[in-house]
């Protein structure tokens, strides 16, 4: 058995792991590269292996850095099946269609305004590409074992977002456990991840392998920001991932209002059509989260949903206090960029960075202190207050990752650390070696390792 680390190696993005065994080739995840320009350019490159030679894809969850390159794989000849949980399929449909739509719109806008270096600017993939991808999906229940050629596969709840799973791959002699993205033990909505299963090798994410999350709870961070904009009559703008993060934010803001800890009359606007669709699935897939029947629907009844682009533009003319939750979470595209232009130059407003900001993204540059950000061919002053917080993260932190590993029923022959910036992976590697005395390796991009 071999593993090819085609993405997600020494970076947090573009997860793609090729498992080859006795003529069977499966891809665990097929993610889009995001962030740094040199990473984004990889999306336009040929796959390291001919997609026609891949038998199947097993998808851990619906975030773009794990599913976003599927339409490219299909366009380049992949004809196999894509396996995942039912909830992951439903979310992936929405996310891929939204991604294609945004790319087509961004390319059209760039061509109209003439600010792209490419003539004409093109979408990475189109809605038509996504439409050809969706019929290939096959769904499975958590803990249901299924066969792909010479490999048996089983999914386990990873606690990251709705439908997210870890993947156990076995050839009858060797077992490899892919963690996928691991959730937190104390997430307000999601259950903790299941412990690792017995395996000879563990391929494990390391996003926060070099640090623990802040001890200040996410709800307290929200409370202080909301009280501040209530006083200043400002705008609290929260760039948010439409899947998972937006739902957690709405849940905790609603909880604060109901408890009387923040003014209940401050309106909350959810300005991501995809996030609105995703929220509906919390009632359909209660297995993956802590809330009871009808609870999330009640939360949504207290939120103003922004439907159209025109409504979004009108929001930029409103005065505070108000709260806007809009995608994308790293300020890489979407409606949040128009809000950033409208509200970032005003010091009364707050920009809450409530998620991981990959290197090369606008969110990361603001996090690193840049006061001027290029946006749609112009520069925008970041004069508002910037509040970074990792308390909202849906990823396990260093302590969670170590505690998860310690639950392994047997010592693996090796742990491969992926899905992390190099510094995070190296810090976690040291900790695993020191604490557990296990064999650890940090693979390089496109490295092939024979097990």
pLDDT, tens only, 368-378: 999 999 988 88
- Kindly state whether residues 67 and 158 are assigned to the same domain: yes
- Kindly state whether residues 404 and 381 are assigned to the same domain: no
Examine the fold and report which residue of 388, 405, 440 is the final residue of a domain before the chain moves on: 388
Range of the domain at 422: 2-211+394-450
| 117, pLDDT greater than 80 | no
- Kindly state whether residues 230 and 287 are assigned to the same domain: yes
Backbone angles phi, psi at 73, to 5 degrees: -60, -45
**Structure confidence at residue 112 (pLDDT):** 76
Rounded Cα distance between 226 and 219, Å, is 10
**Structure confidence at residue 359 (pLDDT):** 81
Q: Which of 2, 49, 8 is nearest to 445 (CA)?
A: 8
**Structure confidence at residue 376 (pLDDT):** 83
pLDDT, tens only, 231-284: 999 999 999 988 889 999 999 999 999 999 999 999 999 999 888 889 989 989
Q: Which of 215, 310, 284, 227 is nearest to 261 (CA)?
A: 227
**3 state SS of 450:** strand
Examine the fold and report which residue of 343, 364, 388 is the final residue of a domain before the chain moves on: 388
Q: What angle do CA 251, 420, 175 make, to 5 degrees?
A: 95
- Kindly state whether residues 124 and 238 are assigned to the same domain: no
CATH of residue 359's domain is 3.40.50.10890
Rounded Cα distance between 82 and 403, Å, is 31
- Kindly state whether residues 31 and 138 are assigned to the same domain: yes
Q: Which of 258, 256, 254 is nearest to 300 (CA)?
A: 254
381 pLDDT band (50/70/90 cuts)?
A: very high
| 96, pLDDT greater than 80 | yes
C-alpha torsion sign, points 445, 447, 448, 449: negative
**Structure confidence at residue 115 (pLDDT):** 61
118 pLDDT band (50/70/90 cuts)?
A: low
Rounded Cα distance between 376 and 243, Å, is 25
Bond before 120 cis per omega within 30 degrees: yes
Rounded Cα distance between 240 and 330, Å, is 7
- Kindly state whether residues 240 and 152 are assigned to the same domain: no
Exposed / middle / buried, residue 220 (Cβ in 10 Å: 0-12, 13-18, 19+): middle
Question: Contact, 228 vs 234, CB < 8 A?
Answer: yes
Examine the fold and report which residue of 364, 388, 412 is the final residue of a domain before the chain moves on: 388
DSSP 388: E
CATH of residue 195's domain is 3.60.15.10
Neighbours of 134 (CB within 10 A): 16
For range 24-51, the mean pLDDT: 92
Which helix (H) or strand (E) element contains residue 225?
helix 218-232
First vs last Cα of the chain: how many Å apart?
A: 6
Rounded mean pLDDT of the chain?
Answer: 94
Share of the chain above pLDDT 90, in %: 82
Neighbours of 294 (CB within 10 A): 9
pLDDT, tens only, 139-186: 999 999 999 999 999 999 999 999 999 999 999 999 999 999 999 998
- Kindly state whether residues 189 and 258 are assigned to the same domain: no
Split into its structural domains, the chain has a count of 2
- Kindly state whether residues 144 and 185 are assigned to the same domain: yes
- Kindly state whether residues 147 and 49 are assigned to the same domain: yes
| 313, pLDDT greater than 80 | yes
Chain centroid, CA 352 distance in Å: 17
Strand partners, 168: 154, 177
Share of the chain above pLDDT 70, in %: 98
- Kindly state whether residues 280 and 189 are assigned to the same domain: no
| 135, pLDDT greater than 80 | yes
For the chain, the residue count is: 451
- Sequence-separated (6 or more) residues with CB below 8 Å from residue 336: 237, 239, 240, 271, 326, 327, 328
Rounded Cα distance between 20 and 129, Å, is 26
Q: How many CA atoms lie within 13 A of 395 on its CB side?
A: 25
Question: Contact, 396 vs 180, CB < 8 A?
Answer: no
pLDDT, tens only, 64-82: 999 999 999 999 999 999 9
- Kindly state whether residues 289 and 429 are assigned to the same domain: no
**Structure confidence at residue 98 (pLDDT):** 85
Rounded Cα distance between 4 and 50, Å, is 13
- Kindly state whether residues 245 and 204 are assigned to the same domain: no
């Amino acid at each position: 058995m071999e593993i090819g680390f085609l993405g997600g190696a020494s970076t947090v993005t573009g997860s793609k792991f090729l498992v080859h065994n006795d003529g069977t080739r499966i891809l665990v995840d097929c993610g889009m590269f995001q962030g740094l320009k040199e990473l984004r350019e990889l999306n336009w490159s040929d796959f390291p292996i001919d997609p026609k030679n891949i038998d199947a894809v097993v998808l851990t969850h619906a975030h773009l850095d794990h599913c976003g390159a599927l339409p490219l794989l299909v366009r380049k000849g992949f004809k196999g099946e894509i396996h995942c949980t039912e909830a992951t399929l439903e979310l992936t449909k929405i996310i891929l269609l939204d991604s294609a739509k945004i790319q087509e719109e961004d390319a059209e806008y760039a061509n109209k305004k003439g600010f792209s270096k490419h003539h004409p600017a093109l979408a990475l993939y189109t809605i038509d590409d996504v439409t050809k991808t969706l019929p290939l999906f096959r769904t499975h229940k958590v803990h249901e074992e299924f066969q792909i050629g010479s490999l048996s596969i089983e999914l386990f709840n990873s606690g990251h977002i709705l439908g997210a799973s870890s993947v156990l791959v076995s050839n009858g002699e060797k077992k490899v456990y892919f963690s996928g993205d691991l959730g937190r033990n104390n997430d307000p909505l999601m259950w903790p991840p299941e412990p690792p299963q017995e395996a000879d090798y563990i391929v494990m994410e390391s996003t926060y392998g070099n640090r623990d999350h802040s001890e200040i709870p996410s709800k307290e961070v929200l409370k202080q920001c909301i009280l501040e904009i209530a006083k200043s009559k400002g705008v609290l703008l929260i760039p948010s991932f439409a899947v998972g993060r937006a739902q957690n934010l709405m849940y905790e803001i609603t909880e604060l209002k109901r408890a009387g800890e923040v003014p209940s009359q401050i309106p909350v606007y959810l300005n991501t059509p995809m996030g609105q669709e995703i929220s509906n699935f919390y009632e359909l897939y209660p297995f993956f989260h802590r809330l009871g029947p009808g609870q999330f629907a009640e939360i949504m009844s207290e939120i103003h949903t922004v439907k159209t682009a025109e409504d979004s533009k009108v929001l930029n003319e409103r005065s505070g206090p108000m709260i806007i939750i809009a995608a994308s979470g790293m300020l890489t595209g979407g409606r949040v960029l128009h809000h950033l232009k409208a509200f970032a130059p005003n010091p009364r407003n707050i920009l809450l960075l409530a998620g991981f900001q990959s290197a090369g993204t606008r969110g990361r540059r603001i996090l690193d202190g840049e006061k001027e950000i290029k946006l749609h061919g112009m520069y925008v002053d970041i004069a508002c207050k910037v509040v970074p917080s990792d308390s909202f993260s849906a990823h396990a932190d260093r302590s969670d990752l170590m505690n998860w590993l310690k639950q392994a029923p047997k010592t693996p022959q090796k742990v491969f650390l992926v899905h992390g910036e190099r510094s995070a992976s190296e810090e976690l590697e040291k900790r695993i070696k020191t604490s557990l005395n296990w064999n650890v390796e940090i693979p390089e991009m496109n490295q092939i390792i024979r097990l």
